[in-house]
Structure 1
């Protein structure tokens, strides 16, 4: 749980520093960061399916695969249609590093310990990403189709957050 909050705090802190410094992310950086966040959650889901034997955890992971892949496919289609190239940035790199650290931790676990850390990570990850998308990305985006995609995806990802919260409670993680 401590690592979850540390990763989330790093990403949130970096975002806050970027905004405070007046370094607003452009649409291409936002698109890349949102896509990266989805890809990272897909990787977490693949790991959960490889390790967990818990039916609820596996069902949640399947949902993550389906929904994040659908949003990322829509994002790729939009980028292709607009003929633009998303831009890597400090926040997307911080998310990738935090996810690598979390995956290393998860790979060292099994059974209920894995399930609890995975579920807690999914809850924290969705809380941070949803807040960032809602409060920072959507208001900053200038390209209407990207704003619509982020808004539609946010509805789905808020459902994921609620599902993750129920999963944590159901697993009775200490």
Structure 2
């Protein structure tokens, strides 16, 4: 049932995006959300199949799906950690110190905590994935 719910959520998420054929395509956050949703659908389906089947071949395939798709999600989290750290480094070392316009500088200072929070959340997820062996 979870796999069906996740698949439905994924389909609804895809349907809610604008028509990419007439635009520049999805944004990076939209792409990341699509990939994360698709991976989670396959992980959930693999876990369900593994728990319900008596076939050794199905169990092996289900475990392969869990492992492979879990690896993609781990790689995405690692990318988010590196990305947010590089943005913070740029903000702290270059952008904020170099900004001449006070409004621009204030905006950069104002958005910085959001990047810190995102980095901390990504690091937390990264640590949890490493603990779980995902």
**TM value normalised by structure 2:** 0.48
**TM value normalised by structure 1:** 0.38
